[in-house]
Structure 1
């Protein structure tokens, strides 16, 4: 009970850190779970000698998000020839598993095209660029948008994609 009160008190800080350092592989819900673990560890270890609790907790959050960012960056170190783009031609020629039957292939293509048509141009371009391994700030620079617009477009595209898959 006391933990939830403490968590709700610091939820704005948790969200702010996530929005500042948004990781493509970590949703807000996942980040809140990570932050809850950090908060629990900080609450258990805090003795008052580290300064104000809020500052101590914020530093621990920053350290955790840096760790997650390093893990994400390590996963991106894939040779360029191993990365396959998400394009119409790719979907038509390469992405289909050869073990799928004609009905499953047709269903996959329909799902892909419905998702593509449901996305705005910004959502689609952001989704494609992020899935090709570009960072959010790189996508923002390439598309000439601010980071918040790109993050929002990516979240909307991810929701549409998840909805299409279900």
Structure 2
């Protein structure tokens, strides 16, 4: 019986029918393992596909000559594969955070009521994804915001100052969402 399993494992590395038979044999193990994990945008079929990838790796590298059991080896490979998926998933989330950036302090001081950045920081953590906020602005507001961020001591007309106040209000609404 054990020899049949070893033959099936060796065949599974190169034969899709043998691979399907081996995967079906270990499907209860797969279901038990993947039940404890959740990734956004991953459905059951994705988890099964990832389990198949881990099964192929296990079948290609398994050496039962030392008496080790394939089930335990496959479980170890599957868990390692899942942890790699989790690391990659959370690294992508961190990459999104790294790509977001704070509006420069000078622009914040001009936008925040009273120009007091330290007060705003005490009340809430001001972290803005500028592209998302920027897209909510009208063309003229976008122009003023860019100018505000680039000029450290620019002078603004009364109309531009009114637009800065509008941008300030939009920024406050945006950050409180």
Looking at both structures, which has the greater relative contact order when contacts are Cα pairs under 8 Å and sequence separation is at least 6? 1
**Larger Cα Rg: Structure 1 or Structure 2?**
2
Q: TM-score, normalised by structure 1?
A: 0.46
Q: TM-score, normalised by structure 2?
A: 0.43
